[in-house]
A and B are shown apart, each in its own frame.
Chain A
Amino acid sequence: MAFEDLLEDPVIQKYLHELVGPTGMPVAAAPPDGEVTDEELAEELGLELNDVRRALFILYENDLASYRRVRDEDSGWLTYLWTFEYDNIPENLEEELYRLLDGLERRRDYERDHQFYLCEVDSIRFEFEEAMEFGFECPECGSPLESMENSRLLDAVEERIVELREELGVERERRAEA
C-alpha cells in the first residue's frame, strides 16, 4: 500500500470518507502502489465493480486519481489503468482551510450584525425582523420567542478564525482585499 504517512492522519481518513462514502471507503483507504484496474480492485477488495468505479470516479473528480486507457489488441476492449494521486491531498485540504476561513468570516459578520430570538420549544432561531413579524410568538407552536445571546458562538468563531489565519499565514482581513 502507498501513502501510509498520509493515511495515518484521522482528518485525512475522515476527508476521504466524506468524499467517497462508506461503500467507497475500502477503495479509498487502501491505495495500491502503481497502476491498477477497476476489476483488480473489485476482486481484491471483494466489492461490486460498480462501487469501485463510483469511488474511483469521485477520487478522479477531486484530483486524487488519474487513469490512462489502453486498448487490448486481441479483444479491442479498452482497459482503464488507474493511479492514485494522493500527493494532492495536502493541497486540497489547504484549499479547504481557506474556504472554511472564508465561511467563518462571513458568518461572524452575520452573527455580529443581527439580533436573534429563540423558540425554546422548537429550537428555532429567528432574526429580529422575523420575530417582530410573528409578534414574538413562534409560528409553529405559539410560545413566546426569547432574546438569544450568541456571544459564545461568536467567541468560538473568532478563536478559530485567529487559529486559521495564523496557520495559513493570512494576516489581513480577506474581505479587505476584495
Chain B
Amino acid sequence: MSASETERNLSEIQQEGLELIRESGGIHQSDFWKELDVSSRKGSRITDALLEAELIEREETVYNGHNTYFLMPTAKDLDFSLLMAGDMLSPFIGEEEVDPNSDSFTQWLMNLAYEE
C-alpha cells in the first residue's frame, strides 16, 4: 500500500493528529493529546496507529520532569526542495566531505542569491 493510500485510511482524529505532528515539526506526547483535546489514553492509541503506519517516529525523552515521547514526522515528509538553488542540487551530494569554499558550492550560492 502506498503512503497516500495509508493516509486516506486513517480515521478523522488520526488525520488531525498527523497534521498536528507535521505542522509542529515535532511535539511531546503529553502536549499532543492536550492539543488534540482527547484523553491521554486516546492520544496513545492515535500515536500507536500512526507509528504502526510509519507516518511518524518517536524518541524517549524527559519533559517537564516526566518521561514522555517526542513525536516527529518521518523523513519522507521533509521538504527536500531546500536542497535546490534554482535548478541546482546541493553539490555536497555524492561528495565525502563538505567543503564550504568549493567552486561548486559557490556556484550553488550564486544561484541561491541571484536566481531565486
Contact = CB atoms under 8 A, between A and B. Distances in A.
B65 interface: no
Contact of B101 (A6, A102, A107): A107
Nearest to A102: B98
A153 B72 CA distance: 32
B12 interface: no
A99 B89 CA distance: 13
**B-side interface size class:** 20 to 34
Contact of B78 (A90, A107, A156): A90
B89 A163 contact: no
A5 interface: yes
Interface in B74-99: 74-76, 78-85, 89-90, 92-94, 98-99
Given A167-B25, A167-B82, A103 B92 contact: yes
B25 A99 contact: no
Given A5-B2, A97-B80, A18 B112 contact: no
B116 interface: yes
A97 B92 contact: no
The interface residues of chain B, by DSSP majority, are classed as mixed
Nearest to A151: B113
A12 interface: yes
Interface residues of A, number: 36
Contacts of A9: 80
B109 A100 contact: no
B105 interface: yes
A173 to B, nearest CB: 15
A156 B77 CA distance: 24
B70 to A, nearest CB: 9
A65 B58 CA distance: 27
Nearest to B73: A169
Interface string A1-39: 000111001011011001100000000000000000000
B53 to A, nearest CB: 14
Interface in B1-45: 2-4, 25-26
B73 to A, nearest CB: 9
Given A11-B84, A18-B89, A167 B109 contact: no
